[in-house]
Amino acid sequence: MLPRVLSLGVRRGPLTRRPGTLRGGFSLGKVVDDRWYCGSGVRPTSGCVPFRTRNRAPHWQDSGSAWGRGYKYWEEKLSEIKKKIQSVLPGTSLHPLYDSSHLPPDHSDVVIVGGGVLGLSVAYWLKKLEKQRGALRVLVVERDLTYSQASSALSLGGIHQQFSLPENIHLSLFSASFLRNINEHLAVVDAPPLDLQFNPLGYLWLASEKDAAAMENNVKVQRQEGAKVCLMSPDQLRNKFPWINTEGVALASYGMEDEGWFDPWCLLQGLRRKVQSMGVLFCQGEVTRFVSSSDRMLTKNQKEVKLKRIYEVHVKMDNSVEYQPVECALVINAAGAWSAQIAALAGIGKGPPDTLQGTKLPVEPRKRYVYVWHCPQGPGLESPLVADTSGTYFRREGLGSNYLGGRSPTEEEEPDPENLEVDHDFFQDKVWPHLAQRVPAFETLKVQNAWAGYYDYNTFDQNGVVGPHPLVVNMFFATGFSGHGLQQAPGVGRAVAEMILEGRFQTINLDSFLFSRFYLGEKIQEDNII
């Protein structure tokens, strides 16, 4: 599939820079004699700049007078300009007039929009599975390389297989194997090994009477797909975890293997370090436009549809009003909570209602709070991550009787996603009462810290979007996982790479995660989302 995409996808448009120009859009002038420099595209472009050489300095030059100080200042400035001009004349070493190392390349086979764990995983597997080393040029465009608001870095770092859908179970099983052998995958020569600080203490899901039958069915599916999960009665629950109040609990499911939590920042930086060693390029900037070509075709029902192909990406540079064009063959939309905006730039969803052209990517940012509290009498070191019947969850953090937790709000409680400010009243009113009811020791907890992060929330069915768009044929998705993208990133990255390089999913069949389900109305609802 890739050779066909590459041959159709890259179109070299008219060059915007003249021969001999440096990156940045200007060309060099020339020194006419030892007194004049004529510009050629350097702003201001008109006229020539006079030079006054040292042997022509007037006799009245005096650093102590106003005239002397002014003259000396401009002589130094003009001397600097002259040195820059002379540095690019034949026979001299090249010293660019400014540093262009932060700019993206003129072209890249693949442009990945979003440098979080999902985008980096796609980059890793593309380079890992390429047929010939160095065959693919991959560029990752990330708005904030500090990842201060990245969902990956702000996550709780949990991983489990207790999903209701086989696809999600397989993705997390694949990721568990990847994380268990992390240094076989992400080792870099002369770099220290990664320590994910994996805590294999499992997930403990609690179900009320009305949800007990669904939990039994889910566990049956999980076991069929290879997950190690057991069911526990309230009596068994009290015996194993005596700190739990089982009031209102009819059944529990407990992950016995490959579940727990890890350091998400370590995984993020490990992937970034690895893909850089594999030749992946990075650029800090924001994608602001796609330039596309289009063709029209008829469907089986003789309806005309327009197919689009992106051949150029415009990247607005950080702290600048300018953009840099990057020619490309493929675009990966891994922009997380903002992936719908990136899709709209490509024209996705900008068509008549109830048509494939008018079907939007149903992913939006949803703000979620994580609270940190201290409780010396709380659950001990063997405590798993607990998901309560109320939707409240918590896990232990470190060895100092600290805990992390929170609760997803209802639709009516959804906070404004415009900022990442924390609502401390939400903990007081909506989280703490449930914590104290389930674990009586939490009556005396003391909140120490809190932060907020974003879910890339799929409003359609809370599941990921993976693979190509049916009409913008060279845009591929890796987004919309609604809170479980971090733990499934290794499997999703491989799936996208397989679709690009082989034309189909091979390791895990994710056909049910394709974009077309939004138009067809085929929901694949995931029940176990916290």
Calculate the dihedral angle through the C-alpha atoms of 294, 474, 342, 340, rounding to the nearest 10 degrees.
Answer: 100
Fold classification of 367-456 is: D-Amino Acid Oxidase; Chain A, domain 2 (3.30.9)
Q: Which amino acid, residue 372?
A: V
As given in the structure block, the two tokens for residue 297 are: 């075709």
Look over the chain and give the mean of its residue pLDDT values, rounded to a whole number: 86
Residue 487 phi/psi, 5-degree rounding, is -70, -20
As given in the structure block, the two tokens for residue 322 are: 């300018």
Cβ(25)–Cβ(36) below 8 Å: no
Question: 298: which strand partners?
Answer: 304
pLDDT attached to residue 28: 36
pLDDT attached to residue 190: 94
Q: How many CB atoms lie within 10 A of CB 500?
A: 26
CATH class of 101-199+261-362+459-529: alpha beta
Rounded Cα distance between 331 and 501, Å, is 14
Kindly provide the b/e burial profile for residues 97-132, where b requires at least 16 CB atoms within 10 angstroms of the residue's own CB: eeeeeebbeebbbbbbbbbbbbbbbbbbbbbeebee
* CA proximity to 154, closest of 263, 249, 65: 263
459-473: pLDDT as tens digits: 999 999 999 999 999
124-166: pLDDT as tens digits: 999 999 999 999 999 999 998 888 888 888 888 999 999 999 9
Calculate the dihedral angle through the C-alpha atoms of 423, 424, 430, 431, rounding to the nearest 10 degrees.
Answer: 120
The domain locations on the chain are 101-199+261-362+459-529, 203-255, 367-456
Kindly provide the b/e burial profile for residues 369-401, where b requires at least 16 CB atoms within 10 angstroms of the residue's own CB: bbbebbbeebbeeebbbbbbbbbbbbbbbeeeb
pLDDT attached to residue 41: 38
Rounded Cα distance between 211 and 205, Å, is 11
Quick one: average pLDDT of 435-448?
A: 98
First to last CA, the chain: 37
Residues 6+ apart with CB under 8 A from 138: 108, 109, 110, 112, 123, 126, 127, 275, 279, 280, 281
Alpha helices in 88-165 (DSSP H): 117-129, 151-154
Would you place residue 6 in the very low, low, confident or very high pLDDT band (cuts 50, 70, 90)? very low
As given in the structure block, the two tokens for residue 109 are: 């086979």
Strands 402-407 and 363-374: antiparallel
The SS3 call for residue 331 is: strand
Would you place residue 84 in the very low, low, confident or very high pLDDT band (cuts 50, 70, 90)? low
pLDDT attached to residue 68: 58
Residue 407 phi/psi, 5-degree rounding, is -165, 135
pTM over 0.75: yes
Cβ(501)–Cβ(128) below 8 Å: no
As given in the structure block, the two tokens for residue 456 are: 């890339």
Lowest mean pLDDT across 272-276, 299-303, 420-424, 481-485: 299-303
Cβ(333)–Cβ(477) below 8 Å: yes
Looking at per-residue confidence, does 323 or 88 come out higher?
A: 323
Residues 6+ apart with CB under 8 A from 476: 330, 331, 332, 333, 467, 468, 469, 496, 499, 500
